[in-house]
Amino acid sequence: MSMIALGFTAMTAMAAPKASTTGSDWQLDFRFHDLQRLSIVLPGDEKPTAVWYFLYEVTNNTGRDVDYYPSFELVTNTLQTVTGGDNISPSIYEAIAARHRKEYPFFATPVKVTGTLLQGEINRRVSAAVFRDFDHVADEFTIFVSGLSGEMKRIPNPTRSQNSNNPPYYVLRRSLAVTYGLPGDSSTRNSAAPVRKRRVWVMR
């Protein structure tokens, strides 16, 4: 398990400003386990469903209560985007909770950990972002986590013209980006373990 690190990723270098090195507003403490694969036969199915999950804990040591509404996106180097929590059966969260019950007896589903996050370790929340299986050709992907910081920046929309209906500005939020490589190929996907390459702060 690792604490997030600071920095900037080249994935957003062309369009986005850099995130500050320390954060200009509140920032939650976020720890995570590297992405893990789970294969489970869901009720009513005959064949197993493969998912990936990002187990985490979040603590508010900011000095004030904050609203915690995170979002998780997995973006592959083949440009596929998978949103955490989309079309995920409750049975999958139950399986994750059972797998980690000894270490995290108070694991909760994402719906139950969102909302006002009170201060202190006693109010720490543990959950998981779950992703459907992604492009088997992809050998690298990045998980973007937003909602951990209050830092935001507004930048002009470079594609907007005077008569355009496009918004004049974009609002970017300080987000954590964790990039992994996936060794092997589609034939070894069932046994491949993601290898973390970097973890940085970006504005996205």
C-alpha pair distances (Å), 108 with each of 15, 49, 100: 36, 21, 11
- Nearest residue to 88 via CA among 34, 55, 129: 129
Residue-wise DSSP of 119-134: SSGGG-EEEEEEEE--
Contact yes or no for 11/141 (Cβ under 8 A): no
C-alpha pair distances (Å), 135 with each of 5, 139, 166: 27, 9, 31
CA 17 to chain CA centroid, nearest Å = 20
What are the tokens at 25? 């507003």
Contact yes or no for 55/95 (Cβ under 8 A): no
Please report, for the chain, the start and end positions of each structural domain, with discontinuous segments joined by +.
Answer: 2-203
Cα–Cα distance measured from residue 180 to residue 170, given in angstroms and rounded to the nearest whole number: 27
pLDDT tens for the 204 residues of the chain, in order: 443 333 333 333 334 556 665 556 899 999 999 999 999 999 888 899 999 999 999 999 999 999 999 999 999 999 999 999 999 999 999 999 999 999 999 999 999 999 999 999 999 999 999 999 999 999 999 999 999 999 988 888 776 666 567 777 888 999 999 999 999 887 787 788 999 999 999 998
C-alpha pair distances (Å), 160 with each of 14, 88, 156, 171, 182: 17, 37, 8, 15, 38
In a 13 Å sphere around the CA of 19, the CA atoms on its Cβ side amount to: 30
Indicate yes or no: pTM above 0.95. Answer: no
Q: What are phi and psi of 34, to 5 degrees?
A: -65, 155
